[in-house]
Amino acid sequence: MKILFHNDFHQVYTSDPAAAAGRMQSILNVISEDYEFLEPTPANEEDIIAIHTLPHVDYVKRIGLYNISSLAAGGAIQAAFIGLKEPCFALIRPPGHHASAERSWGFCYFNNMAIALERLKREKAINRAFVLDIDLHFGDGTVNIFREKDYVTIFNVSSHNRETYLKAVEQGLKEQQSDIIGISAGFDNHKDDWGGLLETQDYTTIGKMVRETCETKRCGCFAILEGGYNHQVLGYNVAALLQGMA
């Protein structure tokens, strides 16, 4: 299984928790020996403005976050293309699922998932896509962007009961029909993170459900990092998801 990662993602680019020092290292400490790492290249502006308005792109440039944000988007694009053939994970930041076409919040600037799927669609690599968003917070940006595009189905998992949560994932995957499944992989719903709900092994279960769905329905899959802020458990949760996917 391939991992997209760049050393620039170590930098503390803002004061928000998604940019905290040591966040990426906490993941690398757990998974670095087990997977093949590839270095992403930035998304070009054509990829970005296919999703975001020019005023929003200019805003990200003005605040000095264009380079790191376009690099994250580029990692998502490369992970998506690899995902057509084998499971892949984009270990990227800033995250993206709170970024709409013309605005962003929640530590996000460009919508990595949307940029990646739109690139696949533009190149006729897919007809349909399914987004499984397992972050604690609703991925409003992804929903806003794809609201008027009929080729993407988005499932934001929401439950305050662990068993019901996993059943919802299972049912959502069972109903989907797509060429690729993109996981907006937030880990902040872990019992030791902000959400306080899921066990580490639940991420393995989710990854396995995605993999089995892809095997049954002959579709690809990839995942991109969103939330997850407890560095003591984040790496183990990422590793658990990758184990299920692989």
User: For residue range 190-209, what is the model confidence (pLDDT) as tens digits?
Assistant: 999 999 999 999 999 999 99
Examine the residue annotation and report whether 98 is marked as an active-site residue of this protein. yes
CA distance 229 to 187: 8
In the chain, how many domains are there?
A: 1
Mean pLDDT of the chain: 98
Domain interval for residue 113: 2-245
**Residue 210: band (very low, low, confident or very high) from pLDDT cuts 50, 70, 90:** very high
Give the pLDDT score at 91. Answer: 98
Residue 8 has pLDDT above 90, yes or no: yes
Give the pLDDT score at 112. Answer: 99
The residue-averaged pLDDT of 95-107 equals 98
> Which of 56, 97, 98, 190 is flagged as catalytic?
98
Residue 211 has pLDDT above 90, yes or no: yes
The CATH number for 111's domain is 3.40.800.20
State the DSSP H helix or E strand holding residue 117, giving kind and residue range, or none if neither.
Answer: helix 112-122
**Residue 19: band (very low, low, confident or very high) from pLDDT cuts 50, 70, 90:** very high
Give the pLDDT score at 148. Answer: 87
**Residue 188: band (very low, low, confident or very high) from pLDDT cuts 50, 70, 90:** very high
